[in-house]
Amino acid sequence: FNNDGSTSHAPLPAREENSPIEQVALTVPVTDDPISAVKIFYGKTLTFWVALTVVVTTQVLGFGWAGIFRRYLVEPAAMWWPQNLVQVSLFRALHEKEPRPKGGLTRNEFFLIVFICSFAYYVLPGYLFPMLTSLSWICWIFPRSVLAQQIGSGLHGLGVGAIGFDWSSISSYLGSPLASPWFATANIAVGYFLVTYVITPLAYWFNVYEAKRFPIFSDDLFTFTGQSYNTSAIVDSNFHFDSDAYDQEGQIYLSIFFAMNYAVSFACLTATVVHVFVFHGRDLWQLSKSAFQEKKMDVHSKLMRRYKQVPEWWFFCILLTNIVATLFVIEYFKSQLQLPWWAFLLACGLAFFFTLPIGVITATTNQTPGLNVITEYIIGYLYPGYPVANMCFKVYGYISVKQGIVFLQDFKLGHYMKIPPRSMFMAQVCGTLISAFAHLGTAWWLMDTVPNICDRALLPPGSPWTCPGDHVFYDASVIWGLIGPRRIFGDLGYYNSINWFFLAGALAPIIVWLLHKAFPSQTWITLITTPVLLGATINMPPATSVNYNSWIIIGFLSGFVAYRYHHNWWGRHNYVMSGALDAGLAFMGVLLYVSLDMEGVSLDWWGSNPDGCSLASCPAAAGDELLRDKWSILYNLARDKSCSIASRLARLNPGAGADWGGGVLTRVMPGLGLNGQLVVVC
């Protein structure tokens, strides 16, 4: 495989069917975000069997989308699915016998060495030295500066200069940087730089949307004064939006990065559709007309024709059966799921429409644009006030597409490895059922057994149970489902101007296409993939700056430096290294959890703090009534029922935690470096 996805038709190794099939069966995706949101954050009742039904029907729905679009996203050689190259290289390294090159290593030996190193090393960031996850050196130089820590924190700020040496955090959100083609890495780097280091700082320091009242980077929801928003106060006894209580509590506010992230998500959505239409529309139309005539097949498709194919009517039958079953479930358990039947059918329509364009982007760039915003937006307008309905609509309209993309990636893996399609089909069916029970059962057990799971205020620093992804999912359900987009992004909302990003995203691919037509000799223009560029930061939060910094650096060293200047080494070892790093980390992660985490064995020293930037979450300003009056601050401290203020001050000055007199503030405030300007949220 070449870096652009083209293939050199060298013979593949002898087929080892069991390993790829097991890999497919054991990596079927599952989502439990709605379950954790209902049980943990809203504190409402949801039975296990209802949750299991939602998980299974979502996966089967994705399976149906994958079957429908196999023709467009699996068989064409242009749809090369970069992540699969890691798996193919890994299976070759494990199963192909090759002579040891003089002065070098076989792929198997190289895999074993990297695997052992990864396994042994992960004990440092995973247990002994968590600070390796984010080395934010600016915070060390300026320990009392809020501004410096906002800029330098890799976990709670913009992450200037922050870098991490933890492979689990590097590859957790964007996938392996070793599997990303360089043009995609460059698009992400440019998009990340624009959003994080241009748009967000300008908006923050010009106080757009009252940005200085809130942390610069946070996924929390705030009141106007910068305090955490009490969402439970605006939910009535029927788990429905209470408009009178909302009027009393006031408007919800977002951190400026969170708001800008929604803006670029709007742009990414329209850019995805327009980009695929402009740059791939003709090819997709030809595929629809030709139905893959023999002369248009690549070598892999021709070889796969030797096997019995999975008839398309199998997928249609599974899809229709699943739709009927889901309609029955959502009607029978409507009190728990809140989703009306027409909304489910609308979600299916959206999923069907967007699977193809999102699949094209993923298959060519290894990055998956998000559909979550449009699903939340639509159902939020049509059916506001019902947070569980919004989450279910998002699951069926967006998560099912993500599931389908993973299934399509598995189909392509079987395509490369020459696995009989019907064997792959059975592996995926079995994997769907096994993973649903195993994953949801484990998540359910953790939610019932881990004390204070997902509660950041009550968990100790460095706890692995903060659930960043679940927090974002819950916040989205409040914004789009409970309150509704009209009160936040619509005519009644404070953030209605960011809707212009829908238009900007639609225009961006057209501009690139016109530039390509005007300057056809400049081939680099065609590598500008606007959905990837505009959607570079859609994983932030829960992803943080340090995740992106380290990912981009490694992607540059692999996709540009190694590929260009050490191409032979890159061809033999790049993807094998990626698989070995993943495998070593996975084994050590399980070992650490079973042997130490489950026994409650932990370390407490300065290296246990994963960031060291305690002031990064402080805003630059607050309401004038709280800035200069120390007694007003004391009054608000006394009224604070959640103890969020006290707990944060106590962490900055542990010895002052028991006494909240004026002397405490005298000792604490100089350490804050705020010159007397104490913010309630801090």
pLDDT for 124? 93
pLDDT for 297? 59
- Report yes or no: 37 and 324 within 8 Å, Cβ to Cβ: no
Sign of CA dihedral 137, 138, 142, 148: negative
The greatest distance separating any two alpha carbons of the chain, rounded to the nearest whole angstrom, comes to 83
pLDDT for 90? 79
Report the chain (682 residues): mean pLDDT per 10 consecutive residues: 42 45 50 82 85 89 90 83 82 78 83 94 91 89 87 90 91 88 92 94 91 89 88 85 89 92 92 88 68 55 76 90 94 90 94 89 83 87 91 90 89 86 85 84 87 83 79 89 90 90 94 91 89 90 91 94 91 89 91 83 80 79 40 44 43 39 35 38 38
Length of the chain counted residue by residue: 682
Q: Report the 10 Å Cβ neighbour count for 109.
A: 13
Q: Where would I find the beta strands (DSSP E) of 150-247? A: 221-222
What DSSP character marks residue 156?
A: T
C-alpha 558/C-alpha 179 separation (Å) is: 9
pLDDT for 652? 43
C-alpha 239/C-alpha 622 separation (Å) is: 32
pLDDT for 307? 80
* Region label for 525, one of left (φ > 0), alpha (ψ between -120 and 50) or beta (otherwise): alpha
C-alpha 444/C-alpha 461 separation (Å) is: 24
- Report yes or no: 38 and 477 within 8 Å, Cβ to Cβ: no
Token duo for residue 8:
């050199």
C-alpha 334/C-alpha 392 separation (Å) is: 11
Within the chain, how many helices (H) and strands (E) appear?
Answer: 32, 2
What phi and psi values does residue 235 have, to the nearest 5 degrees? -115, 125
C-alpha 582/C-alpha 176 separation (Å) is: 9
pLDDT for 4? 43
Report strand pairing: 253-254 vs 221-222: antiparallel
Q: Report the 10 Å Cβ neighbour count for 253.
A: 24
Per-domain boundaries in the chain: 18-200+254-606, 624-672
Nearest residue to 24 via CA among 87, 71, 70: 87
- Which residues are within 8 A (CB) of 522 and not within 5 positions of it... i.e. 6 or more apart? 515, 516
pLDDT for 197? 93
- Which residues are within 8 A (CB) of 210 and not within 5 positions of it... i.e. 6 or more apart? 224, 253
C-alpha 250/C-alpha 437 separation (Å) is: 41
Nearest residue to 561 via CA among 178, 131, 41: 178
- Report yes or no: 580 and 115 within 8 Å, Cβ to Cβ: yes
Tokens 């080494």, residue located = 569
Q: What is the pTM of this model?
A: 0.80
> Beta partners for 235?
241
Helix (H, G, I), strand (E, B) or coil at 60: helix
What does the angle CA 38 – CA 39 – CA 43 come to, to the nearest 5 degrees? 90
Helix (H, G, I), strand (E, B) or coil at 452: coil
Which secondary structure element, helix H or strand E, spans residue 95, and what is its range? helix 82-95
What DSSP character marks residue 235?
A: B
C-alpha 294/C-alpha 298 separation (Å) is: 9
Alpha helical stretches, state H, 383-537:
387-394, 400-417, 421-449, 468-476, 500-518, 530-534
pLDDT for 86? 80
pLDDT for 93? 77
Query: How does DSSP assign 269-289, residue by residue?
Result: HHHHHHHHHHHHHHHHHHHHH
- Which residues are within 8 A (CB) of 193 and not within 5 positions of it... i.e. 6 or more apart? none
Nearest residue to 235 via CA among 340, 387, 339, 382: 387
- Which residues are within 8 A (CB) of 441 and not within 5 positions of it... i.e. 6 or more apart? none
C-alpha 473/C-alpha 402 separation (Å) is: 15
Nearest residue to 83 via CA among 423, 579, 555, 548: 579
